[in-house]
Amino acid sequence: MPDPKRLHGSATRTMSVVMIVIGIALIVRTLAASGSVIATGIVLGVLFVLAGAARLYAQLRSDN
Which CA distances in Å does 26 have to 3, 43, 53, 60?
35, 9, 16, 25
**Does the pTM exceed 0.85?**
yes
Report angle CA 17, 19, 22 to the nearest 5 degrees: 110
- Alpha carbons 64 and 62: distance in angstroms, whole number: 5
Q: Digits of tens for pLDDT over the chain (64 positions)? A: 678 888 888 899 999 999 999 999 999 999 999 878 788 999 999 999 999 999 999 998 887 6
